[in-house]
Amino acid sequence: MTTSSETQELVVVSGASTGMGAATARELARRGFHVLAGVRRDSDGMSLRTEGIEPVILDITDPDHVAALTARVDQDLRPLRALVNNAGIPGAGPVEVTPLSEWRRIFEVNLFGHVAVTQALLPALLRGKGRVVNITSLNGRISMAGYGPYAASKFAMEAVSDALRNELAPHGVQVVVVEPGGVKTEMSRVGLAALSRLDDGMTPEQNARYGTLMQAIPSHVAAFTKAGVTSEVAAKRIAKAVTDGRPRTRYTIGATAAFLILASRILPDRVLDRMTTSDLRRHYPAKARGRTTAAPASRR
């Protein structure tokens, strides 16, 4: 591993407190980078700090935090090799019953916060001919019943990535998207707590429409997460997106993501709807699995 401050390059990783972000920070440090690892609390930074990893307090929705990160990068003589936009929050629930305040909260982190950090660090990335690596999701390519808020924010991040890739290509900055499927992290647990609060606020009419779907989502998320890859496996894929000499525009993480994203490109929408609805229905309460109206298929 390269340890000389004269030869190391900088990499910024947001959302590095735990899980995939923390594993990515460690993997990049092992590969010789000096990682500025964005964490929310000092305690997270203490557990992460090691050779090659410098924790920085970073809430990507806080302009003061973003400004402090930018100042830290600008004062360093080493080039900024990459910005890994990894921070994110989950968000499940039917479109009808998810409050607008929750939509805005999800987009504030999963989209606007990343745009803010990218805008702030682009001068350094342009100077160093660096790279933007945006962590989106399988749900940035495929949406389904009950996952609209989260999927919408990830679809939006995919669109921003496409625009940014074309805008920056003439100036030597590459933009890469990484699309994870299931990854064994704590993110799903946090999302299910919010889902429970949403369930409590539904009207009787909404409960009649979406009650079985709401019961299915926790089981579906748990099964998807259990079948996923470890954070360490995901981190190696993200590090590849950072270091490949001629990177692809998109990398997937996990066989499920690769299969479903390919299926979304070749299957008609109605067929894909039936596929995703059938997968969800396996997690319905037993008495509801035979019904056809409990969870309407998604419309793309």
Q: What are the residue numbers of the active site?
A: 150
Q: How many Cα neighbours within 13 Å face the side chain of 31?
A: 19
Spatial distance between the Cα atoms of 122 and 145, rounded to a whole number of angstroms: 36
Which residue is listed with tokens 């929750």? 102
Largest CA distance in the chain: 65
Spatial distance between the Cα atoms of 38 and 44, rounded to a whole number of angstroms: 10
Helix ranges (DSSP H) in 39-186: 42-48, 63-74, 100-107, 113-128, 148-168
DSSP 48: H
Which residue is listed with tokens 């299957």? 267
Which two structure tokens, joined as six digits, stand for 132? 């933007």
180 dihedral zone (left: phi>0; alpha: psi -120 to 50; beta): beta
159 dihedral zone (left: phi>0; alpha: psi -120 to 50; beta): alpha
